Structure 1
Amino acid sequence: MNLAVIPARGGSKRIPGKNIREFAGKPLIAYSIEVAMRSGLFEKVIVSTDSQNIADVALQYGADVPFIRPVELADDYTGTRPVTNHAIEYCRQHFFEPQLCCCIYATAPFLQVDSLLEGYQELHRQQDKAFAFSVTSYAFPIQRSLRKINNGVEPVFPDNIAKRSQDLEETYHDAGQFYWGRSNDYLSSKKIFSDHSIPVVLPRHLVQDIDTEEDWLRAELMYQAYMRDHN
């Protein structure tokens, strides 16, 4: 039995009300809820929130909100791991023993069922791994990155600045969509960003952080273009 946990705090500072703000026609969190439910992978899809407004929207779109998140897990410094662990333990006490848990971000409108399924299948295939999460490649080699210094710039990695892109190792970053894990491993000290994890590689056109108003505009334009090509 599997559990999906969607953390959705009410106190977003850079984009107030971000999790339930309308994105391309419906609340942003609705996309994550709908994909999780459509996947058929989860016995429960729980939204963990400290906000009654977010809870009301989550319930409207079919998620469970069996608790309001404790105050100590709702400040600006609490990461998603403690929030996910709290939901796992709550599920164990009140519903069922989840074998796997998937933390899904509330700000992932590009999330695809196929990506969730790939992470799930890879964890079953590679029994020695604890987690599987979404990554995507950098659009430009980080080995040729620059930093601003005084009135100019300098290479961060001087030995690589003159190398051709195709001669440099491709690198990846967290795509910020989902994090599958075995429940016992979530509750352990194992780190997600380590060799305990399986990377699920997503195409760059399906990844966009939404942390600023500029991000929001870009993501909405990307989403609208994607939907035009896939409808």
Structure 2
Amino acid sequence: MPHNIICTICARGGSKGVPNKNARIVAGRPLLSHTVNQARSSGLFDCIAFSSDSADYRRLAGQAGADLLIGRPDELANDAAGKIPVIRHCVEHAELATGTTFDLIIDLDCTSPLRLIDDIVACVELVKKESVNNVITAAPARRSPYFNLVERTEEGRIDLARKPARPILRRQDAPECFDMNASIYAWTRAALFEREGLFHPDTALHVMPEERSIDIDSELDFEIVSLLLERRESQL
């Protein structure tokens, strides 16, 4: 059973949709600080490692309570870099720095800060109790590829993204679908380092409501997340 648990928080400095979003002030503090604070407040982690190509982001993460601040190399900081190699790099450097081999890796994304600590706990428990090797989080989809999500085909025709075997007349009758929310990812060490890709036969899902699942990718997203975080802070 996993017992050495690391939290990785990875934030690239070069955002185009919302420039410098991870350092922008939301509910009184930089956006990235909310995620570092959640990790610290959970009490779950033996190490909280923050990875970024931005020295400013690393400074802010240190002020928020991250244990390790890891510089991300240029080849992992461009638009083509995938998430999994970045997390592997972070874990490897954290293991070298601490002399610890981590059994369980929990990655929290700064741009999806509306999660609750209970969501993080649930993902950890899924790996520990259900003997799965990785967990993703998602919200119930607002559109169904079987009913009202369409795509343009190579021939230029508009059609359902996924054609059902027989017509579906009500969205409620379509297969259950989810929108990944980029909030929490969990892996055993073997799954992270020995498997490729995110989806495997034993991948588990933790479902979160829409109001905790907004991933900031635009100014509108930023405004909505700001509103919800400020409302939450005012109710504490």
Same fold (TM > 0.5):
yes
Determine the structure 2 residue equivalent to 1:208. 214
SS in 1 for 2:113: coil
Partner in structure 2 of residue 121 of structure 1: 125
Q: TM-score, normalised by structure 1?
A: 0.89
Equivalent-residue separation in structure 2 for 1:154 and 1:174 (angstroms): 23
Q: TM-score, normalised on structure 2? A: 0.88
Aligned-partner Cα distance in 1 for 2:40–2:190: 23
The answer as to whether partners of 1:190 and 1:196 remain within 8 angstroms in 2 is: no
Structure 2: segments with no counterpart, 5+ residues: none
Could you tell me which of 170, 179, 190 is aligned with 1:184?
190
| Count of matched residue pairs | 229
Q: Is the 8 A contact 1:134 1:200 kept in 2?
A: yes
Identity of aligned residues (%): 25
1:3-59, CA deviations, whole angstroms, 9 ceiling, x for partnerless residues?
111001111111111111112221110111011111111011111011111111001
CA offsets 1:80-120 (integer angstroms, 9 cap, x no match): 11111011111222211111011111112202110110111
* Contact 2:27–2:233 under 8 Å retained in 1: no
Assess, with a 3 A threshold, how the Cα gap between structure 1 residues 148 and 81 changes in structure 2: closer, same or farther.
closer
Q: Is the 8 A contact 1:58 1:65 kept in 2?
A: no
CA shift in 2, pair 1:156/1:178, >3 Å = closer
Structure 2 residue identity aligned to 1:81: I
Residue type at the aligned position of 1:16: P
Cα distance, 1:67 vs structure 2: 2.9
Q: Which residue of 2 aligns with 1:131?
A: 134
Q: Is the 8 A contact 1:91 1:98 kept in 2?
A: no
**Runs of 5+ in structure 1 lacking a partner?**
none
Shift of 1:141: 2.8
Q: CA offsets, 1:189-214, max 9 Å, x none?
A: 24322323110110111111211112
Partner of 2:114: 110
Q: Where do residues 154-193 of structure 1 align in structure 2 (5 Å cutoff)?
A: 155-156=160-161, 163-193=169-199
Residue equivalent to 1:93: 96
For 1:123 and 1:78, the matched residues in 2 are separated by 27
Aligned partner of 1:223 among 217, 222, 229: 229
Question: In structure 1, how many angstroms separate the alpha carbons of the residues matched to 2:23 and 2:124?
Answer: 27
Residue 29 (1) aligns with residue 35 (2): no
In 2, are the aligned partners of 1:110 and 1:206 still within 8 Å (CA)?
yes
> Could you tell me how far 1:134 is from its partner in structure 2?
1.0
Opposite residue 103 of structure 2, the aligned amino acid is Q
CA distance in structure 2 between the aligned counterparts of 1:92 and 1:226, rounded to whole angstroms: 35
Mapped partners of 1:94, 1:224: distance in 2: 36
- The alignment status of 1:12 with 2:3, answered yes or no, reads no
- Alpha-carbon separation, structure 2, partners of 1:158 and 1:120: 36
User: Are the equivalent residues in 2 in contact too, given 1:31–1:108 (CA < 8 A)?
Assistant: no
184-193 or 74-83: bigger deviation: 184-193
Large movers: runs of 4+ above 6 Å: none
28-37 or 191-200, larger mean C-alpha shift: 191-200
Match of 1:39 in 2: 42
Q: In the superposition, relative to structure 1, how do residues 195 and 226 fare at CA in structure 2: closer, same or farther (>3 Å)?
A: farther
1:38-77 equivalences in 2 (<5 Å): 38-77=41-80
